[in-house]
Amino acid sequence: MKQLAEVRTLKVNRYMIIDDEPCKIMSISTSKPGKHGEAKARIEAIGIFDGQKRSIVHPVKHKIQVPIIDKRTAQVVALMGSNVQLMDMETYETFEMVIPDEYKGQLQPGNEISYLEALGRKKITRA
C-alpha cells in the first residue's frame, strides 16, 4: 500500500518510493526559489530491499508516493537450507523467506525476529 505526500513534508529516516522501490531517506537539501521558479528539494535515499543509493530532485510542492511500512514480529518455525519458515505473531500466517547474509547462523527455531513488510515484500530487520 502507498499514499501521496508533498516533498516538503518528508523527513530524514522516513520512507518514500523511488523507481517503484521503497527507500529510506538519508538526507534532504532544499534550494531557494528562483526568480520565476519554485524551491526544489534534493533527496538522497537508500533502497530498503536492494541497498542501492538513489537521489531525486523535485519541486517542494510536488506530490510523491510514500509506502506504508508495516513493522511486525514473527517466530522462527523451521530452517530449510538458505530459507527460513516464519510465523507472524499477530496473524499466525506462515511464510518463507531467504535468510539475509548478516543473519546466517543466528536464527534458531523458536526465536522471535522482527521484520518489515512494504509493497508486498518482506525483510528481516532484527534477529
CB atoms within 10 A of CB 86: 24
pLDDT at 96 over 90: yes
pLDDT for residue 109: 92
CATH number, domain with residue 122: 2.40.50.140
For range 22-28, the mean pLDDT: 95
Do residue 74 and residue 63 come from a single domain?
no
pLDDT for residue 101: 87
The total number of structural domains that make up the chain: 2
Contacts of the segment 101-105: beta carbons below 8 A, 24+ positions apart: 103/127
For range 99-122, the mean pLDDT: 91
Grid cell of 44 as nine digits: 538522497
pLDDT in tens, 31-82: 988 788 889 999 999 999 999 999 999 999 999 999 999 999 999 999 998 8
Range of the domain at 10: 2-67
Do residue 6 and residue 57 come from a single domain?
yes
pLDDT at 7 over 90: yes
**Pairing outcome for strands 40-47 and 21-30:** antiparallel
